[in-house]
Every structure is written in C-alpha cells, then in structure tokens.
Amino acid sequence: MPIAELTDGAGGLVSCRKGVRCLVLESSPALRASGFAFTTWTNAFRALDALGVGDKIREHHLLYERMIAFSAATGEAAAEVSLKIQGKSGPHEIRCVKRDFLLQTLANELPEGTIRYSSKLAAMEEDGRVKTLHLADGSIIKAKVVIGCDGVNSVVAKWLGLPKPILSGRSATRGLAEYPAGHGFGPEILQFIGHGFRSGVLPCSDTSVYWNYTWYPSPADGDAEESVAKMRSHVVAKLRGAKIPAEALEVIERSEMSDVASSPLRFRSPLALVRGSISRGGVCVAGDALHPMTPELGQGGCAALEDGVVVARCLGEALAIARGGSHDQDQEGPRVKAALAKYAEARRWRSIQLITAAYVVGFIQQSNNAVVRFVRDKFLSGLLAKTLVAMADYDCGTL
C-alpha cells in the first residue's frame, strides 16, 4: 500500500529517493505550469540539491546579481541590494525558474507510473491505519500515508480541521515574454512599488522574461477582469501612468498571459497554524495546502520544496528504509504518526514566519497611506528588500 501524495512531484521525488513507494495524484490531465515562473531563492536551491536536480535547473536559468526597487511615484531607485552575498550556509543564489521546466525535471526523475493524472481528490476517510481516498471520477485509492499538497482549497487541510485561507484584498496577474533574439535585461530583479501596486520584471534566461503585478482591486478598475486582453490593457495603463521604463512595459505588452485574467491572493492565518493540526496519524499537509501566502517574498514554491525534503526525511527515518534498518510492521503506524508530528513541528514556525513576513511586506509596499508611503520610499525600501534575502537564508537539510 503506497504513500499517496496529492499534486506535488517534489515530495514524491524525495519520498522515492528515500525508498518509500509512493503515488502522486495530479488533478489535471497533464503537468500544470500555471503562474509561468517563480522566484527560486537560496533555500529552494538547497532543497533542489537535496533532490539531485539543482544543477539541471541552474543550467537553464540566469543567476541574479542584484535587486533594484524603484518608486513608481518618482521613477527613481529607492533601494539596491546586492545578491552576491554570503548567507549562513554559503553564498546566496536567486533565479527565476520556469514552472513547466521545473515540473518536467521533477517528473522525469520519478519512476514510470508514479504520477496518476486526472485524479482530483473529492473526499477522504480513515479506517484505522488505512486512508481511503475518493476521487472525483468515482475511483478509490487506499494508502498508508497521505501528504496533501492540494493547494489553497485543500481537501486534506479541511479534513485536518484547518480553516479556509483568508482573502488579502489584493489580486495578482502575471505573464511570460519570449525574446528569441535576446531581451537585453541584466541579471537583476526589477521591482516597481507605489500607487497601490507592486510589479516585478525578472529575466528567466537570455530569451525569456517573467513579470507579475499585484494590486488592490476597486470599482475604478471597470471591466479589467473580464478578459486577459482587458487585464493586460489595465496593467499597462496603470504602469504607464507611473514612471515605469518603456522596456518593462514592452515585456507586458508582448507577453503570454494565463487564461485566468487575475487571481485573488489568499493566506492562511498564522494563528490557525499556531493552534491547528498540520498532521494527524498518517496524514499531513504541505505546500499551499499548509502555508498559502501572499507573493511578496516569492517564497510559496520555495517553502513547498522545503516541505518535501523535510517530510520525506522524517518518513524515511521512521520507516528505517534508507539506512537498511528493521521494518517492524507492528511499529509502523506509531512511527509514521511520530514522523509526521516531527515534520509538522519543524514546518509550523517556519510557515508562520513566512506568511506573516509576506503579508507585512505586501501591506507596506502597496499601501496608499501618505505616511506609510513617505516612510517606505525614504527609509524602508532597503529594509524590505533585505527582508526577502533574509527569509531565503534557510537550509531545510538533506535527505
């Protein structure tokens, strides 16, 4: 009877690397690449190295040297932070990684047949040590352990009793622009902050550039969210009204966007994680099912990779597989329960820290309050940029 993991190939890979038989249930008919790309910080590369795929990702993505935050009100650089710095466990490295490339790389490392597509979880039951998963297509899967990586609307998180994520009041849209002949951007993260929005331009490689835009929706937006074309026009108009460089506007104008015009940003209340159950028996949550957060730190996907390494290590040690220990069937249930409890405690405070920091950074960056805006532009921009780097200075360990 396998470990069932819902929609997160990273955790499935580390579980297999630890010798644990697992099945990854993906709700979509194929690998998804929603979001186009994500900022992959130092902590994520430590996790990717633990998975054995770090160098494959590095080969295809630019290494950033600095991050520059511009004031949308003045067009001037409010802060510049070098990313060529030492962290606690070595030099920092930050890249913007294409989601489809990362997911395909992880999938290629899994044994054939590990991923089962079109397998959306509808409900879950527990009968002793056995978990019964009812899928939307009517099929049933039984598993000893369930790791719920099933996103912000997680069925597993609901089963554990975690409350629904909270709407932040902000929304986000994003896209990816391709430049077959090269784009001309340097190895740097560009952020534009002010006028109630936060936007970023991040080159992934020499020929592709990712962008994102978050803002507080209002009636003044009109019909912007009715279609992708209208949303693009809305974003370009907003940025053109601020003092955004023409080359950054061009990225948005020529980019491919998601079929979904925008997405409301949600987060898990930190208090819910202080009191709530992250694991129970042979069930736990990871990724957005555990710690949905607003995107200001760029840590959602990075933290999910950390989760995968930690949960696989805890399970591998408990089952005594990786080191050739004895496999006592009578003790397997208690061992698994203790392993997931250990995982939950290891991830609880890290998740609380990231969710809280992301929300605070986003509130300050996108506030229209005159006092907050003045303090941000004059004094806090550098501190906020350094906060992003500090949150990435974390090592989830090896397998």
Q: What percent of the chain has pLDDT over 90?
A: 73
Quick one: average pLDDT of 343-351? 98
Stated pTM of the model: 0.93
The encoded tokens of residue 358 equal: 């992301």
Burial 291-308 (b: 16+ CB within 10 A, else e): bbbbbbbbbbbbbbbbbb
Positive or negative torsion for Cα 289, 56, 35, 123: negative
Quick one: average pLDDT of 146-163? 96
d(CA 265, CA 62): 27
pLDDT exceeds 50 at position 114: yes
DSSP string, 25-36: E-SSSS---TTS
Range name among 3-7, 24-28, 250-254, 266-270 with the lowest pLDDT average: 3-7
Positive or negative torsion for Cα 111, 4, 9, 31: positive
Please tell me the predicted confidence (pLDDT) of residue 137. 96
**Amino acid type, 119:** S
> pLDDT averaged over the chain?
91
Please tell me the predicted confidence (pLDDT) of residue 382. 87
Structural domain boundaries in the chain: 3-392
Please tell me the predicted confidence (pLDDT) of residue 323. 44
Max Cα–Cα distance, the chain, nearest Å: 67
Q: How confident is the model at residue 241 (pLDDT cuts 50, 70, 90)?
A: confident
Positive or negative torsion for Cα 175, 196, 266, 219: negative
Q: How confident is the model at residue 311 (pLDDT cuts 50, 70, 90)?
A: very high
Please tell me the predicted confidence (pLDDT) of residue 89. 81
Please tell me the predicted confidence (pLDDT) of residue 16. 64
pLDDT exceeds 60 at position 327: no
Q: Are 8 and 23 in contact (CB under 8 A)?
A: no
The class (CATH top level) of 3-392 is alpha beta
What is the gyration radius of the CA atoms in the chain, in angstroms?
21
Q: pLDDT tens digit string along 228-240?
A: 999 999 999 999 9
Q: Are 231 and 224 in contact (CB under 8 A)?
A: yes
Please tell me the predicted confidence (pLDDT) of residue 12. 58
Please tell me the predicted confidence (pLDDT) of residue 372. 86
Quick one: average pLDDT of 137-164? 96
Q: What percent of the chain has pLDDT over 70?
A: 91
Q: How confident is the model at residue 128 (pLDDT cuts 50, 70, 90)?
A: confident
